[in-house]
Amino acid sequence: MRRPHHPFATIPPVSVPQNSAVLVITLDGAPLTLEAMALVARGGARIELGAEARRRMEASRAVVERAAAGSEPVYGVNTGFGSLAKVRIGRDDLRALQRNLIRSHASGVGEMLPSSTVRAMMAALAASLARGMSGVRPAVVEQLGRMLEADVIPIVPSRGSVGASGDLAPLAHLALALMGEGDSTLLGLLTRTGHALKARGIEPLELDAKEGLALINGTHAMAAIGGLALLTAERVVRAAVRSAALAMDACLASDAFLDERLHAARGQPGQIEVAAMLRRELDGSRIVQSHRENDPRVQDPYSLRCTPQVLGAAIDALRFVRGVVERELGGVTDNPLVFPSGAGVDRDIVSGGNFHGMPLAIALDLAAIALAPVAGIAERRIYWVLGGADPFTKLAPHLAHEPGLTSGLMISQYAAAACCNELQTLCTPACVANIPTCAGIEDYNSFGATSAHKFDRAVRLARTVVAIELLCMTEALERHRPLTSGPRVEAVAALVREVAPASTDDRPPAPLIASIDALIDAGAFDESPHRP
């Protein structure tokens, strides 16, 4: 079905309102932080080109213009692309070459990327170009900045990148919008890009030599998708640690396995950190004190006892992933690159493979794998508390108020199991399989964009499982009243109760899970507002 267009025919050109609350990020060649990219993604910051970055861009642009005026073949400037690189292009056709490149490569398929992700792509792309190694004019970065500020956001299909010669297809759709072509959203409504730019008083950009290639020959799509997902994953893991602490008191677990000496003996940093966090969460718990004596149990199940080891390993892995993503956001992934030295075009324009997405692909595949045990161990704790396997806790099966007449949270565990099963399928790495492209000249691809999409989906599934655990463990904690946990655990339970009030009968858990999921996504469990 053809998508409707809203041409904004009645909207006159308007100036972009200046919002003093919007942070200005000056692109000066420094790495774009994950947090800064996320701020641009949600509309809380705009970008502008710094003076030193402009100088570097103008210097590298002069090299490209000399190459365009010369007679020697220079890839991306006066040749075809990929397997067509041996075809020479005349000077009169250099702009048409770049325009045709963008049009022909805009072949993305599948559902559209969220506008926030596209905004992140635009910020990452602008920051890379501003480093002055791509040979584009400052006007290209300025066009990206104008469109972000005016909220003209390209429509970008999510699939089509093989993650090697850059994220060609998705970035081509983005670049198409800079030229005033294709579809975009303006104020969240779908329209033709040309109409949106006109409404905002922005002229379409005519691409010059090499500029089209520079716009699409980078890893900015996978970096944006993976980077935003990573920030969410970090919130999920922080919530998972706090949920685990809640589970320990809900299940009347011992705190002996959190002994600092035990974790120091192994020396794994994430494990040591999680154990310390759990000790802090449980500090002041009257529930722990209530069963220190006369408890017939010798050891708790792995899902409780091994929480520091499991969540700590995930934290260590995600920290490695963050390092890879941050380096990518501080690098230049174009090809060829321009290094103005005055030594001549053959020395100043260097072809290579910085566009290859394997660094991100491996890292983002690892990130999805790291989240599987975060969700998996949470699901096992859910199973443990609902299954009534430990009679010492005196918890009713499935936390039902009248077992048999009511089913309690029985099917919440099913939902968690379903999420874990799907998450397990997402742990098959995308980066280990290869499908050649471009008539064999691009014969080893990373499929890093697939890795990013898988990771993004894995994050959402893991977040839901942790939300289910928070719901179940808050309910279980209530069954131990009048005993109370430590102030920090009680603060977590209070947050859950804000969106999932206590009940005395069966009710649909789905909206409760969704509300807790939203709290995790918003970072509510990073540091509880109820914390003393």
Q: Residue 32 sits in a domain of what CATH number?
A: 1.10.275.10
And the tokens for 438? Answer: 């471009």
CA distance 474 to 484: 12
Q: 450: which DSSP letter?
A: H
Q: Are residues 110 and 253 in the same domain?
A: no
pLDDT of residue 528: 40
pLDDT of residue 82: 81
Q: Are residues 161 and 271 in the same domain?
A: no
14 pLDDT higher than 60 = no
Distance (Å) of CA 92 to CA 61, 96, 205, 286: 18, 8, 18, 81
Q: In sequence order, which residues have a C-beta less than 8 Å from that of residue 194 and are 6 or more positions away?
A: 180, 181, 204
pLDDT of residue 84: 86
Q: Are residues 91 and 203 in the same domain?
A: yes
Q: Are residues 101 and 147 in the same domain?
A: yes
> Residue 51 half-sphere exposure, CB side, CA atoms within 13 Å?
0
Residues 374-402: pLDDT tens digits?
A: 999 999 999 999 998 788 889 999 999 99
CA distance 278 to 476: 18
CA distance 360 to 371: 17
Buried b (16+ CB within 10 A) or exposed e, 206-238: ebbbbbbbbbbbbbbbbbbbbbbbbbbbbbbbb
50 pLDDT higher than 80 = yes
Block residue for tokens 């990573």: 230
In a domain, 66, yes or no: yes
Buried b (16+ CB within 10 A) or exposed e, 83-117: eeeeeebeeeebbebbbebbbebbebeeebbbbbb
Q: How far is CA 312 from the centre of its chain?
A: 20
Q: How far is CA 51 from the centre of its chain?
A: 30
In a domain, 526, yes or no: no
User: Which of 258, 499, 295 is closest to 393 using CA atoms?
Assistant: 295
In a domain, 3, yes or no: no
Mean pLDDT of 145-151: 98
**How much of the chain exceeds pLDDT 70, in percent?**
94
And the tokens for 345? Answer: 């075009």
And the tokens for 139? Answer: 């006007």
pLDDT of residue 302: 96
In a domain, 530, yes or no: no
Q: In sequence order, which residues have a C-beta less than 8 Å from that of residue 500 and are 6 or more positions away?
A: 471, 474, 512, 515, 516
Q: Are residues 278 and 240 in the same domain?
A: yes
**How much of the chain exceeds pLDDT 90, in percent?**
84
Final residue of a structural domain among 218, 244, 278: 218
181 pLDDT higher than 70 = yes
- Answer for the pair 336, 351: CB distance below 8 angstroms, yes or no: yes
Q: Are residues 236 and 255 in the same domain?
A: yes
Q: Are residues 164 and 191 in the same domain?
A: yes
346 pLDDT higher than 80 = no
Residues 95-104: pLDDT tens digits?
A: 999 999 999 9
And the tokens for 372? Answer: 């599987």
Burial of 289 by CB count in 10 Å (0-12 exposed, 13-18 middle, 19+ buried)?
Answer: exposed
Residues 272-286: pLDDT tens digits?
A: 999 999 999 999 999
Q: Are residues 376 and 462 in the same domain?
A: yes
CA distance 427 to 408: 32
User: Which of 385, 447, 459 is closest to 422 using CA atoms?
Assistant: 459
3-class secondary structure, 47: strand
Least confident window among 138-142, 150-154, 215-219, 292-296: 292-296
Final residue of a structural domain among 218, 243, 274: 218
451 pLDDT higher than 60 = yes
And the tokens for 362? Answer: 């491996």
Report the residue count for the chain.
532
Q: How far is CA 357 from the centre of its chain?
A: 16
And the tokens for 504? Answer: 């005395």
- Answer for the pair 282, 489: CB distance below 8 angstroms, yes or no: yes
Pairing of strands 337-338, 349-350: antiparallel
Final residue of a structural domain among 218, 252, 285: 218
Q: Is the peptide bond before 532 cis (omega within 30 degrees of 0)?
A: no
pLDDT of residue 341: 85
- Answer for the pair 178, 144: CB distance below 8 angstroms, yes or no: yes
pLDDT of residue 6: 40
Domain that holds residue 197: 23-218
In a domain, 527, yes or no: no
Helices (H) and strands (E) in the chain, counts: 20, 9
Q: Are residues 55 and 169 in the same domain?
A: yes
In a domain, 532, yes or no: no
CA distance 49 to 47: 7
What is the rounded average pLDDT for all residues in the chain? 93
Mean pLDDT of 495-515: 96
User: Which of 225, 207, 205, 99 is closest to 147 using CA atoms?
Assistant: 205
Mean pLDDT of 102-116: 97
Mean pLDDT of 486-513: 96
Least confident window among 74-88, 202-216, 256-270, 299-313: 74-88
In a domain, 349, yes or no: no
pLDDT of residue 416: 98
CA distance 413 to 465: 9
Residue 481, domain CATH: 1.20.200.10
Q: Are residues 166 and 208 in the same domain?
A: yes
Q: Are residues 411 and 494 in the same domain?
A: yes
pLDDT of residue 345: 64
Confidence of residue 15 (pLDDT cuts 50, 70, 90): very low
In a domain, 1, yes or no: no
Mean pLDDT of 496-504: 95
And the tokens for 82? Answer: 């990929």
pLDDT of residue 125: 98
Active-site positions read 75
Q: 523: which DSSP letter?
A: T
User: Which of 40, 26, 32, 28 is closest to 325 using CA atoms?
Assistant: 32
Q: Are residues 210 and 83 in the same domain?
A: yes
Buried b (16+ CB within 10 A) or exposed e, 257-275: bbeeeebeeeebebbbbbb
Number of domains in the chain: 2
Q: 157: which DSSP letter?
A: E
> What's this model's pTM, rounded to 2 decimal places?
0.93
3-class secondary structure, 27: strand
5 pLDDT higher than 60 = no
